[in-house]
Structure 1
Amino acid sequence: MERYAIDVLLEKMTLDEKIGQLMQYAGAFYSEEANDTPVTGPAELPINQHAVKKSGSVLGVAGAKKTIGIQKEHLKSNRLGIPLLFMADVINGFRTIFPIPLALGSTWEPELVQQAQSVAAKEAASAGVHVCFAPMVDLVRDPRWGRVMESTGEDSFLNSRFAEATVKGFQGNDLRKEFDRVAACVKHFAAYGAAEAGRDYNTVDMSERELREQYLPAYKAALDAGSELVMTAFNTVDSVPATGNKPLMRGILREEFGFEGVLISDYGAVGELIPHGVAENEKEAAQKAITAGVDIEMMSLCYENDLKGLVETGEVSIDLVDEAVLRILQLKEKLGLFDDPYRGVSEGREEQTLFTAEHRELARKTAEKSTVLLKNNGVLPLKTKKIALIGPYGDNKDILGEWSIFGKQEEAVTLKEGLALHSEQIVYAAGAQMYERDQEHFQEAMVLAKSVDTVVLALGEGRDRSGEGRSRANITIEECQLELLRELKAIGKKVVVVLFNARPLDLTEVDQLADAILEAWHPGSEGGAAVANILFGSVVPSGKLSMSFPRTVGQLPLYYNSYSTGRPLPENSDERFFSRYIDVANTPLYSFGHGLSYASFQYENLTLDKTEIQRHESINASITITNTSHFDGEETVQLYIQDIVGEVVRPVKELKGFKKIIIEANESKTVSFTITEDMLRYHHADLSYTSDPGNFRVFIGTSSSNTEQAEFRLIK
């Protein structure tokens, strides 16, 4: 259907039909078979079937049989034959589950993530899904926030690269022609990851300069990559809830960023303008949301109950309704739904697409790449085939992550199953339950441990400890799990801790006791196989943290690119009158960009081809990296820059580039980066985005805290 035909269709629609297009309800309202639709808020809505039948989109339903059945019934009663959109949370895979997004960020490989998301799109599309609620590009500096697992980390540059990759992986080149693709929905606009105290749904308060400097770039990157939808955030921006924030949505998003796609509220967010205290009732909430530019209201009834009256009284212009409907119809046309409301979906196509060997192989590879070796005292890779596997995560299939809604835990490969592929000499005991001590199993674990030299201790937090609505004030490992570690060290065993978790944790005690620590995250369907490959050395770890790990929760929020202070703490100083804690170091336990390998990399000879440039010129920065081990390894080389003197205070360093390279044993390679003037720009006090003449530092290294450095000057 061409644009002119959509205009004609719009003219034929009644006001009731138009408002229907703006409404999205959960699947349970459409079919008893969809009663398993996942919900992330109040599920009870006082709506009648007439409202459901005229609605424009469905939340959370997937499966060829379900979506075909709902679409058929809908089209029977829809006067103009306008098909439904099916939207769902497909975050890190559909049926084949990849590592959680925070783990995907630790790959530092946007191209790999693009491949993974193209698989997620293919599987979701085969099940009748048209729109995936991803990527979540919220920058996060506080791991207490439950949704940190959905983010790719604390850096706007790195997040931007993954935002682009996810959109391209989902959408491909042509949604109309490629039925194995889905529309992306970037979320949550804006700054949801900065919720105060790391508490979900809480207030966000920051300057506009900080918003633009750190938080907006990743959304912009997703939009530049072509994301078809944007989802509003639950939080406030400049004391106005995002869902009713006209300057944010019509000003920055529409006018400044040029976004012409569909803006959808988060779950119930239009109705939540009332408890926020900016709307007295549903009528005022509807007026504020449509005025702000919200096209689809998800799971509240402000538009359904009050928008018609607002238009009829002239309080809301019909033009606002028409432009919202037009954007929705255009999306349906882009997806080819007017030509084929089912987009080629069938139960046969779905069966052939889901959880194939090829998809599982990519899931395993991605899990290997996302696993981060935090510590290693030489115990890894494992030197013996006889291993005691202990811990509540040793034989636990809860490794898919909280947002793996359509994955099947029973299909996940556990660590025990993965280790069994390498050795028949694996003995196992849980030792403890996830969150409480089990004396019988504790003693069994100690007996097994005494029969071996090395213990693999699988610890972590379950999916019920992370995700939306699951913020934590205490982010340490559970006490019953720490007891296992303490006792194993007390009997003199070498202990390799493998962590299955969805946020950076306080690992201070674990770091003191463990001989090696492997951060596996929630690694997805093939997680156990991936981790076992790394433990036994058939795969050399290459993951790097995309988010800092604190020494204690009292340091939070904590991030590598903090701003310079007037009293920076001198290195190795314990003097009082500097910016410091008196009971813990300022630094993280594990810094942004940290990640060890079985290979050893030596950085030397950082050189700049010039030390002074004009605005139209560039600098070539190069460094030599030598693999001093007998392992071939893969290293992520990181480029940081510091603007030494700015109009406003600048960060101590900022990531500006990275390259992942393979270096064979005893080989040296030279890695080069091109530094241009646009990499030196920042938002000034008047929000202008320019660079300043002056001195800059270049840092190149293996992490944000382990670099070589040089200086150059930008002149007019």
Structure 2
Amino acid sequence: MKRILFPICSFFITVSYAQQNSDMQMNKFIDNLMSKMTVDEKIGQLNLPSAGDFTTGQAKNSNIGESIKEGKVGGLFNIKSVAKIKDIQHIAVEDSRLKIPLLFGMDVIHGYETQFPIPLQLSCSWDTALIKKTAQVAAREASADGICWTYSPMVDIARDPRWGRVAEGSGEDPFLGSAIAKAMVEGYQGNGTYSSNENIMACVKHYALYGGVEAGRDYNTVDMSHITMYNDYFPPYKAAVDAGVGSIMASFNVVDYVPATGNKWLLTDVLRKQWGFKGFVVSDYTGVMEMTQHGLGDLQQVSALALKAGLDMDMVSEGFLTTLKKSLKEGKISQSDIDDACKRILEAKYKLGLFQNPYKYCDEQRAKTEIFTPANKEFSKQVAEQSMVLLKNAHQLLPLKASENIAVIGPLADAANQMGGTWSVAANLDDYGSVYQAIKKYVGTKGNVLYAQGSNLVEDSVMQERVTMFGKSISRGGKSDAELLNEALNVANKSDIIVTALGESAEFSGESSSRSNIGIPHVQEHLLKALLKTGKPVVLLLFNGRPLTISWEAKNVPAILDVWFGGTEAGKAIAETLFGKSNPSGKLTMTFPQNVGQIPLYYNHLNTGRPLADGHWFEKFRSNYLDVSNDAVYPFGYGLSYTAFKYGKMQLSDTILKGNQTLKASVSLTNTGKYDGREIVQLYIRDMVGSIARPVEELKGFQKIFLKAGETKTVTFNITVDNLKFYNSDLKYDWESGQFNIMIGSNAKDVQSQMIEWNK
């Protein structure tokens, strides 16, 4: 026994010593460097200005070039290409006094030049290994182009689809959101040592609670209890910290009436003292300056507030750069406040290997060979296929036959530049293909494909300009709505089946893209109703960056495939899915409400003292509406397949448990259809009696299972007391004895359940 244990213990001791030695070397290096730095140079490391773009060779003589020489810049962001970054880095390490390298960041949100599906769609894959690989590929491409820091992942829990930035996150559930946060951090950062130049530093955002903005209006107020924070909104941020994320971005909103950018409880007490975060915190764009609008004082006051709260780097505001020295002289901040922040920035640069090799991420050969490769594009297509959600398929209308006469109609049918969705900063939109082009290529000579635009994106041309920004314009063509509709009807009448591409454009969602009405635009809805009146079967391809209110469409359109915004190869992925080469397997990670009056509508809500009975629409003196049921159009976890899955009866290893036992919950799953396919089996638990009110159900496990037609597999979940823990009224994280309802099913609504008792 001793011979077995000894080498294991020695291994851990060696690792511990190696880590300690590495930390000691880093601390010695940084302490020595900081001993040589002036106050101005230390403050300069905390400054993250907006550099704009440069032509190679011009940076040295620009204003930003002069600032870099003077040691007034810690990093720059959204500069693209190795040549430009190398040029600017050269100024820092050759022309500045202490030759401290710069950080180079970028919004690599869902891919670099190879774009993957928007994060909300990506989450609908429920495949953390797949998601991790998308981050790995994105890091590989970005790092090949000089980038060493990404402002991703965005892990904000969101329950209000009016908020445009739901497109950037993973939906409404903290358990799934935490798993995805961990996967993305590990994908970007590798093992966290940045030993490879293919790994970059992640920056989890927006810390904290940004997804809870009132009325779904971007940058708006957030107000919630600490219990809700800890149980529902904090978990993904903490999961990212536990995964070793190198940096965190403060959010725009207030937390307990204090802006997150200057909130000491949030940035120091919770983040550093409770969670043990060791990296650095950066503000969001002008986040420091914006605290003046919240009424926290002038730029000098809010800059001092932010620094003392635990903010390390000021993005764009230059409040740190221009006021901290004055605040130091006036005794409003201390030298240690500046030193602590400076040290954390220098540590990040040291860990990334920039002191050892400032040009680590400036390999021009990699830039030529590792970006937008055929393999990366093929992987992007696979990800898009696995994250589309089949919402309806009456009479098995899908998959289509390539031999048919197919009409492809809609303002998004031949709009290739929309396929990448919002936040496709580094993408070349000319590299995309449209749905119409992809369908036509897939069908080839086997069938006939016709096209018509059918309608404008929206009625109002000014509104259309707002939602087609950043090079993603859609031509209105100069034709009237009536002319466009007549063209579509002529094409439809020549077809056997109609495929409509409707919904939102890429910039209809994202930052500063909140909507008070989240339905399909009226002019498109008018087109859809006219096409249905032809009597031809209609397939709706739904483009969207958020859940939409499609109650009417769900009742009247035979087939609906939510294609979201699938990235570089979206068109090809959609075509292959329509014709059955790929079988959709995605499931929703946000609830689809019937109308905006139901918002916020989410599955893991608390019960009321007067709940509405199952199956009822309205009962007087119950918690319901007069004009609409409490139900969602599509619940959390919902998604269909071209095949069918039959769930056997759930089996539990025990119904009475004690202490740290493990409960095994199993169910047999059979593919009873004609197609091979994937099913996402979901485990939910309800704590029936607690010291505080507990949600009606909570996701606590999921498995994505592939089954060939006719195949059966047994799916087993191992449930421990960790799955029962929550933050109580004292914010203590623990579990309580009592009854628990164990549920397994295909979505949050369609589950089978069994009661157990579990005591300490």
Please tell me the TM-score bracket, short chain as reference. Answer: over 0.9
1:305 paired residue number = 322
Whether contact under 8 Å (1:101, 1:150) holds in the other structure is yes
The alignment partner of 1:98 has SS state of coil
Task: Give how far 1:420 is off.
Answer: 2.3
Paired residue secondary structure (2:113): coil
Moved more, 688-697 or 652-661: 688-697
Residue 176 of structure 1 deviates from its aligned partner by: 3.9
Matches within 5 A, 1:116-515: 116-278=134-296, 280-377=297-394, 378-385=396-403, 386-397=405-416, 398-424=418-444, 425-436=448-459, 438-515=481-558
SS of the aligned residue for 1:274 comes to coil
Quote the Cα distance in structure 2 between the aligned partners of 1:9 and 1:609.
60
1:372-407 alpha-carbon deviations (Å, 9 max, x no partner): 000110210113532111111111111111100000
Which amino acid letter does the alignment assign opposite residue 393 of structure 1?
L
Query: Structure 1 residue 254: deviation in Å?
Result: 0.6
Q: In 2, are the aligned partners of 1:87 and 1:131 still within 8 Å (CA)?
A: yes
What is the CA–CA distance in structure 2 between the aligned matches of 1:104 and 1:602, rounded to whole Å?
Answer: 26
Task: After superposition, give the CA deviation of every residue in 1:424-453 in whole Å (9 maximum; x if it has no partner).
Answer: 321111111211363322211111111122
Q: TM-score, normalised by structure 1?
A: 0.96
Gaps (5+ residues) in structure 1? Answer: 37-45
Q: Is the 8 A contact 1:65 1:346 kept in 2?
A: no
Partners of 1:510 and 1:467 lie apart in 2 by 24
Alignment of 1:546-557 (within 5 A): 546-557=589-600
Instruction: Tell me, in whole angstroms, the C-alpha distance in 2 between the residues paired with 1:209 and 1:431.
Output: 50
Alignment partners' CA distance in 1, 2:601 and 2:69: 46
- Whether the 8 Å CA contact 2:113–2:371 is kept in 1: the answer is yes
SS in 1 for 2:325: helix
Contact 2:192-2:244 at 8 Å conserved across structures:
no
TM-superposed CA distance for 1:175, in Å, is 4.5
Q: Aligned residue for 2:35?
A: 11
Following superposition, the deviation at residue 356 of structure 1 comes to: 0.2
* Contact 1:175-1:183 within 8 A present in 2 as well: no
Q: Distance in 1 between matches of 2:56 and 2:530?
A: 50
Establish whether residue 523 from structure 1 lines up as the match of residue 543 from structure 2: no
2:702 equivalent among 630, 643, 658? 658
Q: Measure the CA separation in 2 of the matches of 1:268 and 1:555.
A: 34
Q: Distance in 2 between matches of 1:197 and 1:527?
A: 31
Deviations 1:589-614 (A, max 9, x none): 01100000011111121111110100
Matched with 1:711 is 755
Alignment of 1:612-651 (within 5 A): 612-651=656-695
* TM-aligned CA distance change 1:140 to 1:566, over 3 Å: same
Query: 3-state SS of the aligned residue for 1:623?
Result: strand
Kept in 1, the 8 Å contact 2:69–2:97? The answer is no
| Cα 1:53–1:524 shift into 2, 3 Å | farther
Separation in 1, partners of 2:94, 2:356: 16
Letter matched to residue 400 of structure 1: G
The CA deviation string for residues 512-544 of structure 1, in whole angstroms up to 9 with x for no partner, is: 221100001111000011111110001111000
Q: Do the aligned partners of residues 64 and 51 (structure 1) sit closer, same or farther apart at CA in structure 2, a change above 3 Å counting?
A: closer
The answer to whether the Cα contact below 8 Å between 2:389 and 2:584 also exists between their aligned partners in 1 is yes
In the TM superposition, residue 696 of structure 1 has moved relative to its aligned partner by 0.7
Which residue matches 1:581? 625
Q: Could you tell me whether the CA contact under 8 Å between 1:175 and 1:336 is conserved in 2?
A: no
Whole-Å separation in 2 of the counterparts to 1:381 and 1:285:
58
Residues in 1 aligned to 2:193 and 2:653: alpha-carbon distance in whole angstroms: 45
Question: Equivalents in 2 of 1:693, 1:31: separation in Å?
Answer: 63
1:537 aligns with 2:557: no
Partner AA of 1:423 in structure 2: V
Identical positions, percent = 43
Whichever residue aligns with residue 91 of structure 1, its letter is I
Corresponding residue of 1:23: 47
Contiguous gaps of at least 5 residues in structure 2: 1-24, 460-479
Q: Are the aligned partners of 1:614 and 1:715 in contact in 2 as well (CA < 8 Å)?
A: yes
Task: Tell me how far 1:51 sits from its aligned partner.
Answer: 7.0
CA distance in 1, matches of 2:194, 2:567: 30
Could you tell me whether the CA contact under 8 Å between 1:415 and 1:531 is conserved in 2? Answer: yes
Deviation sequence 1:400-426 (CA, Å, 0-9, x none):
111000001111121112212321321
Q: CA deviation at 1:369?
A: 0.6
Give, in whole Å, the separation in 1 of the partners of 2:343 and 2:751.
Answer: 52
- Cα separation, 1, equivalents of 2:441 and 2:604: 42
**How far, CA to CA, are the matches of 1:82 and 1:619 in structure 2?**
54
Matched to 2:390, the amino acid is L
Q: Give, in angstroms, the shift of residue 52 of structure 1.
A: 7.8
C-alpha deviation, 1:173, in angstroms: 2.1
CA distance in 1, matches of 2:620, 2:361: 69
CA contact (8 A) 2:49 2:318 kept: no
SS in 1 for 2:649: strand
Letter in 1 for 2:384: A
Stretch deviating more after TM superposition (232-241 or 384-393): 384-393
Q: Deviations over 1:189-224 (max 9, x none)?
A: 111000010011001000001100011110011111
Shift of 1:74: 2.9
CA distance in 1, matches of 2:683, 2:550: 27
Does the 8 Å CA contact 2:143/2:361 hold for their aligned counterparts?
Answer: no
More displaced 10-residue stretch of structure 1: 542-551 or 676-685 = 676-685
Alpha-carbon distance between aligned partners in 2 of 1:623 and 1:421, rounded to the nearest angstrom = 42
Instruction: Show CA shifts across 1:458-515 (max 9, x none).
Output: 0121122111111111111111111111011111111000011111111112212211
Cα deviation code 1:319-354 (max 9, x no counterpart): 111111111111111111112111141333212111
Whole-angstrom CA distance in 1 between matches of 2:361 and 2:293: 43
Distance 1:381 1:527, change over 3 A: same
The one-letter code of the counterpart of 1:134 is: S
Instruction: Tell me the amino acid that sits aligned with residue 555 of structure 1.
Output: Q
Shift of the alpha carbon at 1:623?
1.0
Q: Which segment is superposed worse, 93-102 or 55-64?
A: 55-64
2:601 to 558, 569, 572: 558
Equivalent residue, structure 2, for 1:43: none
Deviates more, 1:307-316 or 1:525-534: 307-316
User: What is the aligned partner in structure 2 of residue 41 from structure 1?
Assistant: none
* Structure 1 residue 77, shift from structure 2 partner: 2.6
The equivalent residue for 1:603 is 647
Report the secondary structure of 2:700's partner residue: strand
Equivalent residue of 1:214, what SS?
helix
The one-character-per-residue Cα deviations of 1:78-113 (angstroms, maximum 9, x if unpaired) are 100001110110000000000000001000001001
Post-superposition offset of 1:49: 4.1
Shift of 1:166: 0.5
2:575 is aligned with what amino acid?
A
Query: Does the CA contact (< 8 Å) of 1:395 and 1:416 recur in 2?
Result: yes
Which residue of structure 2 aligns with residue 40 of structure 1? Answer: none
